[in-house]
């Protein structure tokens, strides 16, 4: 029976609208937890009620001279805002938005060097109110602000976004922050694009939220229709039919303007479906020069501007060999509708795959191991070779073997470990800068063509709150390369015994340990630094290994 027919026979759309937890689990102890994650199903309808507060806040900040807004958040607390800011940009006369979802000292220092304290405001964004990355960054920037202004004045530059009653809401009171914006407690982070987590940052940079929400409302209404007339159900059926025919690599190909949307989809799909040894593997594809070069394990989604003729032609070529659906957006503000389409599709796909899309059982493992690394209680796999200043480590399913002579031979072993249906994931703990990462993106496309396998380039620690769940909880089909660098840049974290650079490195090592514990095939390449020439040389070596 095909996926669409199963959606019809289980009455899945109606049950999702009615928030029926039995759609996702028969376990009694899971029912209440699932109900507490289904508040997103009417977020578009209720979104206008959230606008007066955030638009008034935006007006007040502009009147106070705001020129930069820095969002401190991870995963679901940051990616929708990142997407909207990159797709739509700031309105004339409104502040710039900087989404800081990393613990890289180099990136933090860049923000400090490029922003003026008096005209910079901060959004401390965390659903749970306990996320280590934004809390650490908050301590750093609060101290930075208080170097030039009194504590009460500095507090007016900080705004919290969190669940009601969370530790962050209490911190806001102690730290005399300007205000705490409450998000619905019944909405999980990755389904929260139209909650305060997405709307508040967008309002502060002047995005036309009324029009964006109107598109979202129309899609939400459409996603309540019968399955065959329902955009969310249609996408869910496409994804699951493809998956059950072996095409589990959900390949996203977007017009340049919409590429950041792929990062949001990546988290939604991977973290929701990657568990119980099941999972849809999202792959962001940057190279549109491939005629029909994908293997049979690819299901392709093309999301393009309506007049992107190059990508339209690409879609036609790919559709000749691979399952493909195409979305052509007439307006950039239709991105609001796409958030809704994908949320409904992902939830219904979870039902069809027999998993609960609203938990993330393996995400906490890497967090716990990071804490153990910082405390010196975790045994981190040691390097077996120093090749030109880069240290090579094999762990998990790649443990053992002879020491490599160079980076290319080290990478070749990882590439040769992949079997039919496997994919490569390059987990780069490097500054998220296009100029630095572009050689790795180009190398990923080249290696994909050479090997016939998908290559995912992820930045850490962002992916820990995203595809990290899939890496550990999904099928053991990934071959992982953790890329770190021994940079000297560092920043103290007030009140902590470790520095930001130590946290950044510990997160990479914590994930290395966790992947190895799950018997994943994993290699670590620890570079001497993250200079552009060093990263470009690594990209060349990865390409060389694949030829």
302-360, pLDDT tens digit by residue?
Answer: 999 999 999 999 999 999 999 999 999 999 999 999 999 999 999 999 999 999 999 99
How do residues 147-189 score in pLDDT, each as one tens digit? Answer: 999 999 999 999 999 999 999 999 998 999 999 999 999 999 9
Alpha-carbon Rg of the chain, whole angstroms?
A: 23
Identify which of 130, 127, 113, 140 has the alpha carbon closest to the alpha carbon of residue 78. 127
3.40.190.170, 3.40.50.150, 3.40.50.1820, 3.40.50.10490: CATH of 363-545: 3.40.50.10490
The two tokens of residue 280 are 């849809």
Q: Is the pLDDT of residue 437 over 70?
A: yes
Q: What is the pLDDT of residue 401?
A: 82
Per-residue pLDDT band for 74 (boundaries 50, 70, 90) equals very high
| Cα–Cα distance, 342 to 327 (Å, whole number) | 12
Walk across the sheet containing 158-162 and list its strands. Answer: 96-100, 68-72, 120-125, 158-162, 179-182
Residue 291's pLDDT band (boundaries 50, 70, 90)?
Answer: low
pLDDT greater than 90 at residue 287: no
Residue 306 DSSP SS3: coil
Instruction: pLDDT band for 288, please (50, 70, 90 cuts).
Output: confident
The whole-number pLDDT of residue 184 equals 93
Tens digit of each residue's pLDDT (9 = 90 or more) over 41-64: 999 999 999 999 999 999 999 999
**Which residue is associated with the tokens 């899945």?**
12
| pLDDT, tens only, 185-220 | 999 999 999 999 999 999 999 999 999 999 999 999
Q: Is the pLDDT of residue 1 over 90?
A: no
CB 447 within 8 A of CB 415: yes
Give the span between the Cα atoms of 354 and 365, in whole angstroms. Answer: 23
DSSP strand E in 151-280: where? 158-162, 179-182, 249-254
With bands split at pLDDT 50, 70 and 90, how would you rate the model's confidence at 244?
A: very high
pLDDT at 535: 98
- Residue 289's contacts (CB-CB under 8 Å, 6 or more residues apart) are none
Query: How far, in Å, CA of 298 to CA of 324, rounded?
Result: 9
Q: How far apart are CA 365 and CA 369, in angstroms?
A: 6
Going by the DSSP 8-state scheme, the letter that residue 190 receives in this structure is: G
When pLDDT is cut at 50, 70 and 90, the band that residue 292 belongs to is low
**Global pTM?**
0.96
- What is the rounded distance in angstroms from the CA atom of residue 104 to the CA atom of residue 491? 9
**What distance in Å separates the CA atoms of residue 464 and residue 407, rounded to the nearest whole number?**
25
Provide the CATH topology of domain 3-33+227-353. Rossmann fold (3.40.50)
What angle do helix axes 335-353 and 79-88 make, rounded to 10 degrees?
Answer: 140
DSSP tag of 80 = H
Nearest to 500 by CA among 70, 113, 138: 138
What is the rounded CA–CA span in Å between residue 435 and residue 449?
A: 22
Pick 43-207's CATH classification: 3.30.70.420, 2.102.10.10, 3.40.50.10490, 3.30.1600.10: 3.40.50.10490
Strands across the sheet containing 390-396: 385-387, 390-396, 521-527, 478-485, 423-428, 455-459
What is each CA distance from 34 to 236, 356, 359, 474, in whole angstroms? 19, 8, 8, 20
User: Where do the structural domains in the chain lie, given as residue ranges?
Assistant: 3-33+227-353, 43-207, 363-545
Longest distance between any two alpha carbons in the chain, whole Å: 66
The answer to whether residues 127 and 166 touch, using CB atoms and an 8 Å cutoff, is yes
293-315: burial string, b at 16+ Cβ within 10 Å, e else: bbbebbbbbbbbbeebeebbebb
Instruction: Report the alpha-carbon distance of residue 139 to residue 218 in Å, rounded.
Output: 41
Percent of the chain with pLDDT over 70: 99
Q: Alpha helix locations (H) across 359-401?
A: 363-375
pLDDT digits (tens, 9 = 90+) for 506-537: 999 999 999 999 999 999 999 999 999 999 99
What does the pLDDT read at residue 29?
A: 87
Q: How far apart are the first and last CA of the chain?
A: 42
How far apart (Å, rounded) are the C-alpha atoms in residues 51 and 33? 29
Alpha carbons 227 and 3: distance in angstroms, whole number: 10
């Amino acid at each position: 029976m095909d996926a669409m027919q199963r959606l019809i026979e289980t009455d899945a759309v109606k049950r999702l609208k009615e928030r029926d937890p039995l759609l996702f689990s028969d376990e009694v102890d899971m029912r209440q937890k699932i109900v507490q994650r289904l508040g997103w199903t009417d977020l578009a309808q209720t979104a206008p009620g959230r606008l007066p507060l955030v638009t008034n806040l935006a007006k007040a900040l502009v009147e106070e001279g705001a020129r930069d807004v820095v969002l401190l958040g991870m995963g679901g607390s940051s990616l929708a805002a990142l997407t909207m800011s990159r797709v739509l940009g700031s309105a004339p006369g409104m502040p710039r938005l900087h989404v800081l979802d990393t613990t890289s000292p180099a990136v933090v220092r860049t923000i400090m060097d490029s922003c003026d304290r008096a005209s910079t405001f901060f959004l401390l964004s965390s659903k749970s109110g306990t996320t280590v990355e934004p809390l650490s960054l908050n301590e750093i920037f609060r101290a930075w602000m208080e170097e030039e202004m009194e504590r009460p004045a500095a507090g007016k530059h900080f705004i919290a976004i969190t669940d009601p009653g969370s530790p962050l809401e209490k911190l806001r009171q102690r730290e005399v922050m300007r205000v705490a914006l409450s998000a619905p407690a019944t909405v999980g982070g990755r389904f929260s694009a139209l909650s305060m987590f997405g709307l508040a940052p967008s309002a502060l940079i002047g995005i036309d939220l009324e029009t964006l929400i109107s598109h979202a409302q129309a899609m939400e209404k459409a996603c309540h229709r019968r399955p065959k007339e329902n955009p969310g159900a249609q996408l869910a059926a496409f994804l699951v039919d493809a998956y059950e025919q072996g095409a589990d690599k959900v390949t996203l190909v977007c017009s340049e303007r919409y590429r950041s949307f792929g990062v949001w989809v990546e988290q939604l799909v991977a973290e929701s479906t990657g568990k119980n040894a099941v999972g849809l593997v999202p792959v962001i594809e940057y190279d549109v020069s491939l005629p029909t070069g994908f293997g049979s394990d690819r299901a392709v989604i093309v999301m393009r501007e309506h007049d992107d003729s190059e990508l339209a032609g690409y879609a036609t070529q790919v559709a000749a060999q691979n399952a493909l659906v195409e979305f052509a957006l007439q307006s950039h503000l239709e991105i609001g509708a796409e958030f809704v389409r994908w949320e409904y599709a992902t939830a219904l796909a979870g039902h069809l795959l027999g998993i609960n899309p609203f938990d993330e059982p393996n995400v906490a493992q890497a967090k716990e191991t990071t804490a153990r690394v910082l405390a010196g209680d975790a045994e981190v796999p040691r390097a077996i070779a120093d090749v030109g200043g880069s240290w090579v480590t094999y762990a998990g399913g790649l443990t053992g073997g002879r020491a490599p002579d160079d980076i290319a031979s080290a990478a070749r072993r990882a590439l040769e470990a992949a079997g039919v249906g496997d994919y490569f994931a390059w987990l780069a703990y490097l500054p998220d800068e296009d100029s630095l990462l572009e050689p790795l993106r180009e190398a990923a496309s080249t290696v994909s063509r050479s090997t016939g396998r998908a290559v995912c380039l992820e930045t850490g620690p962002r992916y820990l709150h995203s595809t990290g769940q899939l890496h550990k909880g999904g099928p053991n089909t990934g071959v992982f390369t953790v890329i770190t660098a021994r940079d000297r840049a560092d920043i103290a974290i007030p009140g902590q015994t470790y520095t930001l650079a130590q946290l950044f490195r510990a997160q990479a090592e914590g994930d290395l340990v966790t992947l190895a514990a799950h018997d994943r095939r994993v290699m670590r390449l620890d570079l001497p630094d993250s200079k552009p020439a060093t990263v470009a040389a690594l990209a060349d070596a990865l390409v060389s290994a694949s030829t």
